Amino acid sequence: MITAITAAELLTPTEQISSPVVLIEDEVITRFGSRETVEIPANATLLDYPGATFAPGFIDIHIHGSAGYDVMQGDQKGLETMASFLAHRGVTSFLATTVTAERPALLTAVERLAEQIHNWPSDGTMATPFGIHMEGPWISKLRCGVHPTSAIENPSLEMFDRYYRAADGYLRLITIAPELPGATEVIREAVKHGVRVSLGHTDGQLSDADAGIQAGATHATHTFNAMRPLNHREPGVLGRVLESTAITAEIIADGIHVDPVVVDLFLRCKGGDQAILVTDATSAAGMPDGKYKLGTFEVTVTGDRCELNGNLAGSVLTLDRAVRNVMQFSGRSLGESVRLATANPARVVGESNRGTIRPGARADITVLSPKGEVIECFAAGRATLAKSSNRAIG
């Protein structure tokens, strides 16, 4: 079956096209361009979104849960509920992100996630968890945030091998504090196995950042949060992250974890190619005020704040809102902001067929209003929201 979708504008996201047509067949984009250059096949189902903008489906590479579900719970139906919620927020792909826990619990969580990802239903009605991001246990006790200090460990090749085997090929990203004993050895081993490494939850100095980058780290976890603050005489890991073109960096743009002024400053430092929007969302995202699970502990949500004992504990942010916040905080256009949630995170984890609109790529497309609100979401070529009031069927 061929589906043709049309709108007012398309963001690839590196190219902008007016009056676009996108042709979809067998879950893949087969052709796109302006209506003057692309002929719509007579047998195609035509969906028109007047006044809307097509963008690649959003990718969240740091998310712990949503819609009342935490990824470490190991429940298939719960993960599918989370994935359906994410599609309503324009997300088509995500890395299920674990938190620090005792070894048996963390190994079990990784094994269950790998099994769920391997058996993920391909019906195209929700976002797809395409891998695992391990945030902990190899983090600094001084900058651990709400991660339980009792379960924090120094990195070791033995434990990396155990987690890697438990993940069954789905371990895509690990967060590590580069100053810890054994960190550079584990970074090298992870990179050798195709796992991307992110510097985070760190009290490291500039030299530690350089050692981590030299060993193969290429990314930074929720920049500013759980990091030694910037000092003009000892800039630390944060200083290198902001300055270096050798490392991409993520930020939680909810206006709570990082002040809007600093979000804008961060974007000026990292530019349009190296900044990544993430949510760090917990199971409380999309839920009313109350108490919710984050790994093995309980967090409290009041309004937009997610806390444990007065400390920030993840967020209730959604990626579509993060895109709109960047537009508001920094004055950047919809196209510039969308790139931070699509092509950039895809590049961080080496996903060339996600985060882009081009022939041969997965037909993951988010339909947005001029203000960045989600109208529709296509996951592997299938509309997940079916808001018929916002489209015309030809």
DSSP 82-116: HHHHHHTTTEEEEEEEE----HHHHHHHHHHHHHH
Give the position of tokens 């537009």.
327
Cβ(62)–Cβ(279) under 8 Å?
yes
| pLDDT tens per residue across span 121-135 | 876 679 999 999 999
Q: Which two structure tokens, joined as six digits, stand for 328? A: 């508001």
Q: If you ran DSSP here, which 8-state letter would residue 201 be given?
A: S
> What pLDDT is stored for residue 232 in this prediction?
96
pLDDT above 60: residue 96 = yes
Positive or negative CA dihedral for 65, 71, 74, 79?
A: positive
Q: Which two structure tokens, joined as six digits, stand for 373? A: 């609100």
> What pLDDT is stored for residue 386 in this prediction?
56
Task: Please report how the helices 260-274 and 319-330 are oriented relative to each other, as an axis angle in degrees rounded to 10.
Answer: 100
| pLDDT tens per residue across span 218-271 | 999 999 999 999 999 999 999 999 999 999 999 999 999 999 999 999 999 999
Q: Which two structure tokens, joined as six digits, stand for 221? A: 């976890």
Smallest CA-to-CA distance from 161 within 180, 182, 177 is with: 182
Distance CA 391, CA 169 (A): 40
Averaged over 165-184, what is the pLDDT? 98
Distance CA 92, CA 126 (A): 7
**b/e sequence 168-205, b meaning 16+ C-beta within 10 Å:** eebbbbbbbbbbbebbbebbbbbeeeebbbbbbbbbbb
**Active-site residue 259, yes or no?**
no
| pLDDT tens per residue across span 1-55 | 899 999 999 999 999 999 999 999 989 999 999 999 999 999 999 999 999 999 9
pTM of the shown model? 0.96
Q: Which of 70, 280, 320, 364 is catalytic?
A: 280
Positive or negative CA dihedral for 227, 233, 234, 238?
A: positive
The residues, ordered by sequence, that sit 6+ positions from 15 with a Cβ below 8 Å of its Cβ are none
Q: What percent of the chain has pLDDT over 90?
A: 91
Distance CA 201, CA 228 (A): 9
Q: Which domains does the chain have, with CATH numbers?
A: 2-55+356-393 (2.30.40.10), 58-348 (3.20.20.140)
Pairing of strands 365-368, 374-379: antiparallel
Distance CA 182, CA 187 (A): 9
